[in-house]
Amino acid sequence: MTGAGTTTRVLIADDQALQRLGTAMFLGGQDGIAVVGEAADGYEAVEHTERLRPDVVLMDIRMPRLDGIAATRRIVAAKHDPGTGPWVLLLTTFDVDEYVLAGLEAGASGFLTKDAEPADLLSAIRAVAAGDAVIAPSATRRLLGRLAARTADAPATASGERLRAQAAVGRLTDREREILVAIGSGMTNTEIGRELLLAESTVKNYVGRIFTKIGARDRVHAVITAFRAGLVRAD
Domains detected in the chain: 8-134 (3.40.50.2300), 138-228 (3.40.50.2300)
Q: What pLDDT does 98 receive?
A: 67
Q: What pLDDT does 199 receive?
A: 95
pTM for the model stands at: 0.74
Q: What pLDDT does 104 receive?
A: 81
Can you tell me the distance from the alpha carbon of 84 to that of 66, in angstroms, rounded to the nearest whole number? Answer: 24
Q: What pLDDT does 70 receive?
A: 95
Backbone dihedral angles phi then psi of residue 63, each to the nearest 5 degrees = -140, 155
Q: What pLDDT does 5 receive?
A: 60
**In the chain, which residues have pLDDT < 50?**
none
CB 33 within 8 A of CB 10: yes
